[in-house]
Structure 1
C-alpha cells in the first residue's frame, strides 16, 4: 500500500510516498481503507517538529483525521463490519501511523460509523475541529456535558473566527444544540461563509465595533465564548455574561485581568482535544456522530466550509496550504470511494 512518511521533522518537502505492507487488524482493532485524509494545523505542526508533543519520533505517517470504509475487523470488535462507512479521530496522536496512507489500523474506539449517505468529506472534516468545538461548547460547569438538540437552548454563543474549521464546527454544533450564535470575521467573504454555516449574526471586526454590536444583539452578553485568539481576552471579558465561560483553543501568551473576570464570576478554560479525559472525548464523539448522521453537520461552500482537495501525490502542497492559513478544509484524496 502507499503511505506518506516523514523520517525527520521539517518543511512539507520532507513528506514522501513509500510502499508499505498491508497492516493486519489485531484484537480490538479495525483496519480502515482511507478515502480522504484531512490536514489540520496540528498535523503540519507535528511534521515540522513544533506540534503537540506525544513522545513518538519519526518515521511517522501524518494526519489525524480521515474517512473511509472498514476493510477488516480484529477479534472482539463489535458494531462494525467490512463495508461500513466510518470517520476516524486522533489517528496519529501517540502513534506513528496517521491517515495519510491507503489503510490504517486503529483501536475500535477511534473508528466511528456514519450513515452511508453522508459524504466522505463530512467524515474527514469532523475529527479535531468538531471535537474541539464540542469541548469548547460544553466545558462550562453549568452547561451540558454533551450536546444534543436544544441542549444550549436559551443561551447565546459568540464564536470568534467563524470562517475557520473550528469556528465553522462551533457554529453548526451550537445551532444544532439550540443556541443563538454570534460570530466575528475579518472580511465580507468570510462573513458569507459564517452566514452559510448558520450564524444568527456576523460581525466584521475590521469595520464594526464588536463590543457595541454584541451589546446590541445580546442584552446579557454571550454565556459562552469560543475563542481563537488570546489577544481578544480583554474584549471577551467585557462582553461575556455574568457567570459565563470563555473557552480558548489556541496557544499564546496572555495576561489575565483577574478582577474583571472575578467581578463577573467568569470561568476561563483552555481546550486541547487530544488530552481531554476519556469520558469527555467519548461524549464529544457521540454527539458529533449524531449531528453528522442527522445532517446537522455539513461541509462545502453552502455550509460555510469549502473543501480543498489534493491528490495523494500532492500531499506536500496540501500541508503548505494549511500553513498559509487557506480558508476551507484541506483534504487529501487517498483512494477512490
Structure 2
C-alpha cells in the first residue's frame, strides 16, 4: 500500500504536543474526486482552535488538519475529466467535516474543491486563499457591487482584512477605510491599499472613520468583531448599509439594537466561509481567478515552515500578533 507523510493529531491539546509527523496510507480518489499532491498547506485560526479543543473534542479518531492548500492533481476518480491530471490547483474546505485535510503529501477531495491555479500565481499564493480570500469576497460582494460605495474593513491587517482591503479597491469602492490597533498593523493595512487607517482603540474612532468619508458615512462593513465594534458600527453605518460579520469573539452574544437598525433599513449578514451558497462561491472563484492571472492581489506571508515543524504555524495562529499567512511547505518538486 502506497504511504505518505502527514501532520496529524489524535487528541486535542497544545500544538507542539499533539501534532506529529506520521506515515499514513495514501488516499485514492473516489467517484467525482481528485487526488492532489500537496505542495503548500495553509493554516488558519480555525485550524488552531479545533486542534486546541476550544470547539470541542477532536472531531475524528485521527485528524489531518487544514482546509487550505495548493498543489498538483495526481489522479482523478470516476466521472472526472482525465485531462485534469497534472493541473495546478488551490484547495478549499479540504478538512471541512472530513478527517483528511491538506497537511499531508496527498489529499483526495471533491473535484470542484480543487480550483485551477493561474500560472502567474505560486503554490504559496494558492495556499493563502481558501478561508481568508473567500470570506473577504463574500463579506464585500454579498449584497451587490461596491463601486462608488464607502467601505470599512475592521481588522484591516488580518488575513481576511488584508484581502478585503485589496478587493474593495479592485471593486472600485469610493473609499476604503481600515481599522487596526496601530503600529505595524496600521502600516500593513495602508500597504494593502487602505486610503485611511483608524486606530479602533481611540475614543474618537467613529469620528475619524466619518472624516475619512468626508462625512458621508459607511455603506458596507467587513466585520471581524461584531459585538465589540457595534457602538462604532451604529455611529458610522448609513441607512440601507450592510455589516457582514465573520467573527464576534470578544462578545459572542452581543445585544442587538434591532429597532434602530431596522428603522435605518440596515442589514446584518453572518458569513461562514464553509457554507457559502454555490453562486457566491462561483462568483468568488471567478474573481479570484481573474485577479490571480493579472497579479492583482498580494499574499503576505508571516511564517513558512516545513511539515515536520507544522506546530509552529499553528502556534502563530493562536494570537493576534501575526501579520500575513502561516504556511507549511509539504513537498518539493510538485
TM-score by length of 1: 0.90
Q: CA separation of 1:5/1:306 partners in 2, compared to 1, >3 Å: closer, same or farther?
A: closer
Change in Cα spacing, 1:79 to 1:51, as seen in structure 2 (3 Å) is farther
CA distance in 2, matches of 1:129, 1:75: 31
Compared CA separation, residues 79 and 189, structure 1 to 2 (3 A):
farther
Alignment partners' CA distance in 1, 2:75 and 2:210: 54
Contact 2:7-2:308 within 8 A present in 1 as well:
no
Query: 1:195-228 CA deviation, whole Å, 9 max, x = no partner?
Result: 1111121112345722111221223211100111
Give 1:65's aligned residue: 68
* Stretches of 4+ aligned residues off by more than 6 angstroms: none
Is 1:8 the counterpart of 2:5 in the alignment?
no
Return 105-114 or 11-20, whichever deviates more: 11-20
Deviation at 1:276, TM superposition (A): 2.5
Q: Which residue of 2 aligns with 1:321?
A: 316
Distance 1:157 1:79 in 2: 43
Indicate the residue corresponding to 1:295 in structure 2: 295
Match of 2:41 in 1: 37
- Unaligned ranges ≥5, structure 1: 144-150, 300-304
Aligned to 1:333: 329
Secondary structure of 1:315's match?
A: helix
State yes or no: 1:247 paired with 2:241.
no
Q: Could you say if the C-alpha distance between residues 79 and 135 of structure 1 is closer, same or farther in structure 2, counting changes exceeding 3 Å?
A: farther
Q: What are the superposed Cα offsets for residues 124-167 of structure 1, whole Å, 9 maximum, x if unpaired?
A: 11100111111111233xx2xxxxxxx42101110001000010
Residue matched to 1:181: 176
Given candidates 135, 151, 162, the residue that maps to 1:132 is 135
Q: How many residues align?
A: 322
User: For the Cα contact (< 8 Å) 1:156–1:224, is it kept in 2?
Assistant: yes
CA contact (8 A) 1:69 1:84 kept: yes
Kindly indicate whether the alpha-carbon contact (under 8 Å) linking 1:73 and 1:80 is maintained by their aligned counterparts in 2. no
The structure whose residues are more often strand, as a share, is 2
CA displacement at 1:250 relative to structure 2: 0.8
Report the TM-score when normalising by structure 2: 0.91
Partner of 2:80: 77
Q: What SS is found at the alignment partner of 1:256? A: coil
Q: Does 1:161 align with 2:155?
A: yes
- Equivalent in the alignment of 1:201: 196
Per-residue CA deviation, residues 46-93 of structure 1 (Å, 9 max, x unaligned), is 21233499x942311001100111212223223852332110001000
1:241 alignment partner, SS class? strand
